[in-house]
Amino acid sequence: KAGVTQTPRYLIKTRGQQVTLSCSPISGHRSVSWYQQTPGQGLQFLFEYFSETQRNKGNFPGRFSGRQFSNSRSEMNVSTLELGDSALYLCASSLALVGTGLYEQYFGPGTRLTVT
Amino acid sequence: GESVGLHLPTLSVQEGDNSIINCAYSNSASDYFIWYKQESGKGPQFIIDIRSNMDKRQGQRVTVLLNKTVKHLSLQIAATQPGDSAVYFCAENRNTDKLIFGTGTRLQVFP
């Protein structure tokens, strides 16, 4: 069974630009969560989608948005990039909502975004 | 590989010894806890979880202990191996809300 895949793996953007990251969950998984990981702030939750609906949201500005498609694939978008958005963006999938604790959450390798 | 944290607390252990990684969680209402392992250049990997109605759970070479009185979680790794070298995170969840991750501990295993 293929794991969670994220594309692209590495990305370099300029301040003010926007970026779209993609995540393909494990087949059959309906929950997709996004996290930002930085050395200073650690792992921080961005949002979770289940059945194309955002179910939970972290404390990030509106420049961070996401969506989920009917095949459970998910994208996240960051508009008007800032230097502080440089981070590893991780996607994770699960059979059910993470908070139910019923199923493990599997992480992808992440997309390394560098904003210059 | 990529560093996930430049100033993480570090635990150095000798191969074959037992490791204990500690985590303090923030909310007494949290009811579900998970330990993750993150190797350089990879995403976090699930190790073991525990619900708040338990105080101990064992897996293969790993044991998680939960002390709700002091809001403390620990991960014990038996007979630590070089492949256990990684950053370890605890995460808490309350009432189907989002997961909140700890800052992480870097485990270094030396021969």
In the three-class reduction of DSSP (H, G, I as helix; E, B as strand; rest coil), residue B85 is classed as coil
Quick check: B50 pLDDT over 80? yes
Interface subset of A 30-89, CB within 8 angstroms of B = 33, 35, 37, 39, 42-45, 48, 56-58, 88
By the 8 A CB rule, do A116 and A15 touch?
yes
pLDDT of residue B2: 35
Q: Per the CB < 8 Å rule, is A39 touching B7?
A: yes
Quick check: B96 pLDDT over 90? no
pLDDT of residue A17: 98
pLDDT of residue A95: 87
Count of CB contacts below 8 A, A vs B? 71
Query: Chain B residues with CB inside 8 Å of A98's CB?
Result: 93, 96, 98-99
CA atoms within 13 A on the CB side of B110: 4
Q: Chain B interface, mutation test: which of A37, A47, A86, A103, most B Cβ atoms within 10 Å? A: A37
Q: What is the mean pLDDT of chain B?
A: 89
What is the average pLDDT across A96-106?
75
What is the average pLDDT across B43-53?
93
The Cα A26–Cα B67 span in angstroms is 34
The Cα A95–Cα B64 span in angstroms is 24
Model confidence over A31-89: pLDDT tens digits? 999 999 998 888 999 999 999 999 989 999 999 999 999 999 999 999 999 999 999 99
Would you place residue B3 in the very low, low, confident or very high pLDDT band (cuts 50, 70, 90)? very low
The Cα A116–Cα A113 span in angstroms is 10
Of A73-82, A93-102, A104-113, B5-14, the range with the lowest mean pLDDT is A93-102
Q: What six digits make up the tokens of A59? A: 């404390």
The Cα A53–Cα B55 span in angstroms is 35
pLDDT of residue B84: 97
> Does the beta carbon of A110 lie under 8 angstroms from any beta carbon of chain B?
yes
By the 8 A CB rule, do B103 and A41 touch?
no
Residues with Cβ within 8 Å of residue A40, at least 6 apart in sequence = none
Would you place residue B73 in the very low, low, confident or very high pLDDT band (cuts 50, 70, 90)? very high
pLDDT of residue A99: 67
Token pair 């997309």: residue: A111
pLDDT of residue B5: 45
Would you place residue A1 in the very low, low, confident or very high pLDDT band (cuts 50, 70, 90)? low
pLDDT of residue B4: 40
